[in-house]
A = this chain, B = another copy of it.
Amino acid sequence: MAGIPLFQHRLFSSGIDTKRNTSFSTLNSDDILYFKDILDHKNVVQDEDRLVAANVDWMRKYKGSSQLLLLPKNSEDVAKILKYCNSRCLAVVPQGGNTGLVGGSVPVYDEVIINLSAMDKIVSLDKVNGILICEAGCILENLNSYVENEGFVMPLDLGAKGSCQIGGNVATNAGGLHFIRYGSLHANILGLEVILADGTTLDMLTTLRKDNTGYDLKHLFIGSEGTLGIITKVALLTPCKPSSRSIAFLACNDYICCQKLLAEAKQSLGEAISAFEFMDYHSVEMVLAYTEGVRNPLPASPYNFYVLIETTTSDELYDRTKLEAFLLHAMEMGLVSDGVIAQDLNQASSFWRIREGIPEGLLKAGAVYKYDLSLPIQVLYAIVEEMRARLGNTAKVVGYGHLGDGNLHLNISTTHYDDKILSEIEPFVYEWTAKVRGSISAEHGLGLMKADKIHYSKSAETVQVMTSIKKLFDPKGIMNPYKLLPHRLFQD
């Protein structure tokens, strides 16, 4: 991250009209003494440099001013910390790998940072059923390596896998690259252990595939962004590791072809598809320009769109034959202009590197306004074109994402943040999305960035119920304040 400028703190000019909640206490020396009493001293961090890192998000767009970072070692530590903070009315922000994109995992003001990194133990893996139990601080990539050794695979995969933690994945309901195959975390999480604001432990850590005994409360915490409690343990289903994986990198001339290709792929490849990603020309250009060692597998001529299709099955010959036949068919139909199937693991990785390198390329290029939209597939690319027309030469507008799930990542790249450009983008992008009944956050969550934008995707009645639930679980509002719901709903 060194060398990337820290953009000016954008909270207020991003249209977020929040002020520090005056009902929260301010940290004092007795608090520090208490935390040093219950935790190892080295896990009570007041060091300036470490606090700076923990106060700033991955995009370096949001910056808090917390004076304390706590590193609990187990669920009991988390329970003690929360019980104390709740009694003292000290606000907290739960933090995992801090790879979120909506300012959800850093403090807004002086909230105590509770980072889960030290809780990274694997509790068990049931090798018959592929059920993993682990602590929330486990890094996704480490978990995947662990279960792969035993013949399983994590049901989610995302670009940030080397840093993001499973607790954060669950708290933000991370989607990622294999959503089309394995579905959302609501489909794969079997159980959770959660510590509530007052320190109560909610043991929902079941490993059963089916359990219809009362309301399935764990779903409330999946995607709650740390506002209802802290997830401390996770039980999840890991599917059998497919013995075969085939990857094609294809070029399409226009968006209509991408859409038709998806419909054909769903019909022909069926249960074998594990990813269907698309990138427009401008996204790929961004990666090629800013990421070392990446080259375009289809260098013959620039194409308007690129599509990456991955199939995984339990039979290599089947997998490969099926994908080849599909590709031939798609070319005959004129849907695909050019294409290549990876010949080995290295080539497969290099295809994925292009898709996964886009966010990093954008970050290196300068300032970036990121929007993560769910849209009806028929109009999914229209917003990119409209935005491009709207912004003209002032910005580079790129569109890519999980086409198979109707999820567009709309990114607007400029040399520096500028309120004038922002005012051209917002609220236009939200209004456009609401008009087609899309979601203004497909997978990134609302965090601080979009907390007061929730009404673009949710009805007033629904927001009202969410607010009541927040108040039920966290009457003092100490859990990750100012995030997910409009802060004004909690002001008297």
Interface centre among A187, A223, A465 (most CB of B within 10 A): A465
Q: For A473, list chain B residues within 8 Å (CB).
A: 465
A239 to B243, CA, bound (A): 23
CB-based contact A445/B212 at 8 Å: yes
| Stretch of A45-53, A66-74, A110-118, A313-321 contacting B (4+ beta carbons < 8 Å) | A313-321
A183 to B186, CA, bound (A): 10
| Stretch of A30-38, A80-88, A197-205, A327-335 contacting B (4+ beta carbons < 8 Å) | A197-205
Interface residues of A in 218-239 (CB under 8 A from B): 219-220, 222-224, 228
For A183, give its contact among B128, B183, B220, B440 (CB under 8 Å): B183
A417 to chain B, nearest CB (A): 24
CB-based contact A407/B209 at 8 Å: yes
Given contacts A203-B459, A437-B206, contact A214 B444 (CB under 8 A): no
CB-based contact A216/B223 at 8 Å: yes
Provide the A298-327 mask, 1 if CB < 8 A to any CB of B, else 0. Answer: 000000000000000111001000100000
For A212, give its contact among B187, B269, B446, B465 (CB under 8 Å): B446
A422 to B5, CA, bound (A): 72
Interface centre among A267, A314, A456, A485 (most CB of B within 10 A): A314
A64 to B404, CA, bound (A): 48
A342 to B468, CA, bound (A): 54
Given contacts A214-B484, A484-B214, contact A203 B128 (CB under 8 A): no
CB-based contact A463/B202 at 8 Å: no
Q: For A173, list chain B residues within 8 Å (CB).
A: 212, 216
Per the CB 8 Å criterion, the residue count for chain A at the interface is 86
Q: Which 3 A-B pairs have the closest CB atoms?
A: A219-B219, A270-B314, A187-B187
Q: For A213, list chain B residues within 8 Å (CB).
A: 439-441, 446, 450, 454, 456-458
A313 to B311, CA, bound (A): 14
Interface residues of A in 373-409 (CB under 8 A from B): 374, 377-378, 402, 405-407
A166 to B281, CA, bound (A): 44
A318 to B315, CA, bound (A): 10
Binding site for B on A (CB under 8 A): 128-130, 151, 172-173, 175, 179, 183-184, 186-187, 200-204, 206-217, 219-220, 222-224, 228, 240, 242-243, 259, 263, 266-272, 313-315, 318, 322, 374, 377-378, 402, 405-407, 437-446, 450, 454, 456-459, 461-463, 465-466, 468-469, 472-473, 484-485
Chain B residue nearest to A267 in the complex (CB): B240
CB-based contact B314/A210 at 8 Å: no
For A442, give its contact among B212, B406, B438, B468 (CB under 8 Å): B212
CB-based contact B212/A172 at 8 Å: yes
A269 to chain B, nearest CB (A): 7
Q: For A209, list chain B residues within 8 Å (CB).
A: 179, 374, 405-407
CB-based contact A206/B439 at 8 Å: yes
Q: For A184, list chain B residues within 8 Å (CB).
A: 187, 210
CB-based contact B210/A442 at 8 Å: yes
Given contacts A128-B263, A183-B187, A271-B272, contact A214 B439 (CB under 8 A): no
Interface centre among A259, A315, A377, A459 (most CB of B within 10 A): A315
CB-based contact B406/A210 at 8 Å: yes
